[in-house]
Amino acid sequence: MESITSFVGIDVSKARLDVAWRPNAAFKSFNNSEVGIQQLIDCLSAAPPTRIVLEATGGLEMPVAAALAQAGLPVVIVNPRQVRDFAKATGQLAKTDTLDAHVLAWYAEAVKPPVRPLKDAQTQELAALMSRRRQLIDMLTAERNRLGCAPKRIRKDIKAHVIWLEKRLKDVDNDLNNAIKQSPLWDKQDQIIQSAPGAGPVLSITLLSALPELGQLNRRQIAALVGLAPFNRDSGTLKGRRTIWGGRAEIRAVLYMSTLAAIRSNPVIKAFYQRLRASGKEHKVAAVACMRKFLTILNVMIKNGDRWCDTSAP
């Protein structure tokens, strides 16, 4: 652990933090508590590693990741699917907490994922509200679907639940709006994003909460981060096809709906879409290309601090 080129993987569970080092294969366990996290920080600070990798586990990883970042340690939160693919590629098919920690350390050593700034407390709270909003919408959709085929005896109960969910959704929307208004930076960025035809409040809040890198990266980097960069798939009979995958799916879902609105109402996106269709592109291919263009336009607007009416769209 004294090596200055060591790599660390941390498997996070509710009760424990399993920590593995590479290349010396050391292993330690800490309680997932304030005391345990501080002990982990003290241990890692004694011989700071080159990279510390944790998997995204639905928010369970955030307290330890935030504490490590505040201590000035190079922590990275990575996509679990990428780590599992890496484990399978290296023949590590078994899965335990100890093995997972070692695989994460191995992944850190082999891939060296870039360290990016973590979301601050306000951004995490905004992201949590957006996550809750999506959950409420999913529950509302499920209950409304059940209502159509439910026996008469339980329709009253479903209707009461729908009314309650609609009220909670309205409350969450109010909380989101208040959070935006209380931050001068977010309020300005929200106004910039919503000034673009096709971009509404849901897209704006989604970008502010789930894409804090907006305005800080170039067009290729921001597209790749969201999962809109096309990848070659020239294999066998597949020639010339390009696909998108990975990235932040929750952003793509909202951006897709906003782009459909922009195709109708945004002169730049509408003209771009029509040009792609006229050249023979399928609707879905053209729509994805418009998503990428719309995102890069918003990225430049945030970077320059320009509202739509103040900028010649790139």
Q: What is the pLDDT of residues 165-215, one digit of tens each?
A: 999 999 998 998 888 888 888 899 999 999 999 999 999 999 998 888 899
Higher pLDDT, 275 or 94: 275
pLDDT of 54 above 50:
yes
pLDDT above 70 as % of the chain: 92
Q: What is the pLDDT of residue 255?
A: 95
Looking at domain 7-111, which CATH architecture does it have?
2-Layer Sandwich (3.30)
pLDDT of 70 above 90:
no
Q: What is the pLDDT of residue 245?
A: 53
pLDDT of 71 above 60:
yes
pLDDT of 3 above 50:
no
Q: Residue ranges per domain, the chain?
A: 7-111, 121-182, 193-314
Q: How confident is the model at residue 244 (pLDDT cuts 50, 70, 90)?
A: low
Angle between helices 249-265 and 201-210 (to 10 degrees): 150
Mean pLDDT within 161-166:
95
Give the Cα separation of 202 and 192 in Å (integer). Answer: 14
Q: How confident is the model at residue 161 (pLDDT cuts 50, 70, 90)?
A: very high
Q: How confident is the model at residue 313 (pLDDT cuts 50, 70, 90)?
A: low
Q: What is the mean pLDDT of the chain?
A: 87
pLDDT in tens, 115-148: 877 777 777 788 888 889 989 999 999 999 998 8
Residues 6+ apart with CB under 8 A from 93: 87
Q: How confident is the model at residue 1 (pLDDT cuts 50, 70, 90)?
A: very low
Mean pLDDT within 280-298:
94
Q: What is the pLDDT of residue 257?
A: 95
pLDDT of 226 above 60:
yes
Q: What is the pLDDT of residue 2?
A: 41
Q: What Å distances lie between residue 239 and 171, 236, 242, 281, CA to CA?
A: 50, 7, 9, 16
Q: What is the pLDDT of residue 153?
A: 87
Q: What is the pLDDT of residue 82?
A: 87
pLDDT of 236 above 70:
no
pLDDT of 64 above 70:
yes
The least confident of 40-49, 78-87, 190-199, 261-270 is 78-87
Count of other CB atoms within 10 angstroms of residue 56: 16
